[in-house]
Amino acid sequence: MTTTRPALTIDGLLAELKTLATISEAEPPVVTRVVFSDADMRARAYAKGLCTDAGLSISEDAIGNTFARWQGSEAELPPIGTGSHIDAIPNAGLYDGCVGVLGGLEAIRVLQKLGFKPRRSIELVIFTAEEPTRFGIGCLGSRMMANVLTPEQARRLRDKEGRGLEELRTAAGFKGPLESVAVPEGRFHRFIELHIEQGPLLEQEGIDVGLVTHIAAPASMRVVIEGEGGHAGGKLMPGRKDALTAAAELILALESAAKSTGAIDTVATVGVCEVFPGAVNSIPSRVRLETDVRDIDGARRDRVLDALQAACDEVVGRRGVAISTELVNADPPATCDLAILAALEESAVAAGKTYKRMVSRAYHDSLFMARIAPVAMLFIPCRGGVSHRPDEYASPEWIGSGVHVLSRTLAVLAS
């Protein structure tokens, strides 16, 4: 569309990103914004103020998901959604999530300046608690919108201090029943999330934007190994039931299972290994492992989990330890919508931007939005693939490319 070909200047957006980064629980350049903290609430107020200045109408749900709408000429039609999150893990940077929120707002402002008149409304969404920092579960807002996390489950969530979701969201000023957060399928006509890649491929290949075709989904299994402790010098090797050496076998078995699929998209990680009693001269009697297995193919991912369970059973029989397993979550992967991908490709070509189709191995709010609407993601490069660190960086040129392609795509889908 000729109306979506601006001479794009994003100086104002860059200044807004930098201002948002100063709203933090830590000293700059570190960004820390845990959901429902004072910094989170001040950041929300800043973002909502920018949306109001752009003439968008604001609404919020019972856990703080925020919706900023640019009304279309046919207001009764389901809107086109875009957006991301502004909460940040401890010791983070200023681009993760925030580019999708403020960049989405900038895309709307670009269209407004060009005099574009949307047929469908365009709605910017700021999701609550994409990061798992406070409650140990990621994408809280979008999970609840898609009813993947039920109100009953949400009420059981506690932070490390034992404070519950109900207490914290009420203290933050979010009222209404949790049952009201879930939205029906069709609430959005389409949804697009702009995000930094959080990987190195786009930068390495010199490509402007990535069009995400699939979003990998995680499955997490908790494994507890109970052995038999004792003095490191007094207990001879033949009679030992060492929980840590049993755990080591399981860690290697998980790695082997992931590699054996033959698919580059299968990844497995043991990110937590807690050893009791943790003394150099004491045989470990108990170990807790937290595992993360991801793939864009849910069945293939689950076969890796099955292999881990089989390894647990084998180790129990051979080593004489006791092992318990708990499947913490197993979210289905998402396949992105072909119509949105076609619009993104058309927009990238029209904007003169290079692009590639790619997979998102990190998961985002779009993974859960896919339960209630057709979705796609638009990636921009980030330096060195670095994310979740203060030195996370996306250049003005990269951000500008993302906003340019997003604005064109929103115009196509809202027409």
CATH of the domain at 138: 3.40.630.10
Helix ranges (H only) for 229-364 are 243-259, 298-319, 338-350
pTM: 0.92
Same domain assignment for residues 163 and 78? yes
If we measure between CA atoms, which residue out of 28, 32, 73, 68 comes closest to residue 50? 68
Q: Give residue 4's pLDDT.
A: 43
Q: Tell me how many degrees the CA angle 288-293-296 measures, rounded to the nearest 5.
A: 165
Q: Residue 352 — left, alpha, or beta (φ > 0 → left; ψ -120 to 50 → alpha)? A: left
Same domain assignment for residues 251 and 387? no
Q: Give residue 311's pLDDT.
A: 98
Q: Give residue 169's pLDDT.
A: 98
Same domain assignment for residues 167 and 97? yes
pLDDT one-digit tens code per residue, 294-322: 999 999 999 999 999 999 999 999 999 99
What is the spatial distance between Cα 315 and Cα 293, in angstroms, rounded to a whole number? 20
CATH number of the domain enclosing 223: 3.30.70.360
pLDDT one-digit tens code per residue, 44-92: 999 999 999 999 999 999 999 999 999 999 999 999 999 999 999 999 9
Q: Give residue 1's pLDDT.
A: 45
Q: Give residue 2's pLDDT.
A: 43
Q: Give residue 3's pLDDT.
A: 44
| Structure tokens that stand for 246 in this block | 């049993």
Is-contact 175 357, C-beta < 8 A?
A: no
Same domain assignment for residues 35 and 100? yes
Residue that terminates a domain, selected from 330, 353, 384: 330
Q: Taking all residues of the chain, what is their mean pLDDT, rounded to a whole number?
A: 96
Q: Give residue 8's pLDDT.
A: 64
Q: Taking 80 as the threshold, does the pLDDT of residue 114 lie above it? A: yes
Same domain assignment for residues 183 and 53? yes
Q: Taking 80 as the threshold, does the pLDDT of residue 409 lie above it? A: yes
For strand 190-196 and strand 80-85, is the pairing parallel, antiparallel, or unpaired?
A: parallel
Same domain assignment for residues 297 and 338? no
Same domain assignment for residues 376 and 228? no
Same domain assignment for residues 55 and 138? yes
Task: State percent of the chain over pLDDT 90.
Answer: 97
pLDDT one-digit tens code per residue, 396-408: 999 999 999 999 9
Same domain assignment for residues 156 and 288? no
Task: State percent of the chain over pLDDT 70.
Answer: 98
- How far does CA 406 lie from the centroid of its chain? 19
Verify cis geometry, omega within 30 degrees of 0, for the bond prior to 78. no
pLDDT one-digit tens code per residue, 123-138: 999 999 999 999 989 9
Q: What range defines the domain where residue 306 resides? A: 218-330
pLDDT one-digit tens code per residue, 226-235: 999 999 999 9
In this prediction, residue 9 has a pLDDT band, given cuts at 50, 70 and 90, of: confident
Residue that terminates a domain, selected from 330, 357, 384: 330
Residue that terminates a domain, selected from 295, 330, 365: 330
Same domain assignment for residues 225 and 212? no
In this prediction, residue 162 has a pLDDT band, given cuts at 50, 70 and 90, of: very high
Q: Give residue 92's pLDDT.
A: 97
Q: Taking 50 as the threshold, does the pLDDT of residue 6 lie above it? A: no
Please tell me which residue, 312 or 329, carries the higher pLDDT value.
312
Same domain assignment for residues 321 and 361? no
User: How many domains is the chain built from?
Assistant: 2
Same domain assignment for residues 135 and 207? yes
Is-contact 206 322, C-beta < 8 A?
A: no
Q: Taking 50 as the threshold, does the pLDDT of residue 334 lie above it? A: yes
Orientation angle between helical segments 243-259 and 298-319, nearest 10 degrees:
150
